[in-house]
Amino acid sequence: MDAVCSSNRERDDLRFYYYWIALILFLLDFISKKVIEKNMEIGETIHIIGEKFFIITSIRNRGAAFSILQEQRILFLCITSLVAISIIWYLQINRFSGRVPLLIGLGMVLGGALGNFFDRALYGQVIDFLQFTFGSYVFPSFNLADSGICCGVFLILLDTIFSRQKEIGKRHVPENQ
C-alpha cells in the first residue's frame, strides 16, 4: 500500500512539470536580463568567444523577433496573451498524453513567451544580449526567453514528427501480429 501511495504522490508531483519548466525559464530569463541591465551600458559588448563569434551585448528591442515590427507593444501583448492562454489550454488537454517532448516544449514556449511579455508590459521593450557572428553575417541579438521559445518549438516539431510516424506505423501493422 505504501508503494502505491508513494508512486501516486510522485506522479502527482510530476504531473505539472511543464509549468515548473515554464517558471524556471521565466526566472532565468528575468535574472539574466536584470544582470545585463544593471551591469552593462546599452550598446556595450563583452567578447566571449573570439573577437566577434559570440558576444554579450546590451540591446533594447521594441519589436518582435529579429527586431521586426518596432513599436507595436499593444499588438505583441495581445498576441502573447492569446498564445499563453492557448498553450495553457493545450497543456491541460494533453497532460495525460505521455507525450513528454510535447509537454516540455510547450512549457518552454510558455516560459519564454511570458518572459518577453513581462518585459513588454512593464518596460515597453525587451532586453536582448546574446549575439553570434558567422563570417560576415551577424545573427540578431536574442535572450534566454527567445532561446526557450526556439528550443520548445523544436521539441514540439520532434514530437509531432515521431507521433505521426507512430500513428502511420500502427495503421500498417497487420492485426495478426
Point out the catalytic residue in the list 12, 13, 119, 128.
Answer: 128
Point out the catalytic residue in the list 2, 29, 119, 146.
Answer: 146
Instruction: Let me know if 29 is a catalytic residue.
Output: no
CA 118 to chain centre: 14
For residues 119 and 126, the answer to whether their CB atoms sit within 8 Å is yes
Distance, in Å, from the CA atom of 60 to the CA atom of 83, rounded to the nearest integer, reads 23
For residues 67 and 140, the answer to whether their CB atoms sit within 8 Å is yes
- Report which of 85, 90, 117, 126 is spatially closest to residue 105, judged by C-alpha positions: 90
Copy the grid coordinates of residue 151. 528550443
Instruction: Let me know if 119 is a catalytic residue.
Output: no
Active site residues: 128, 146
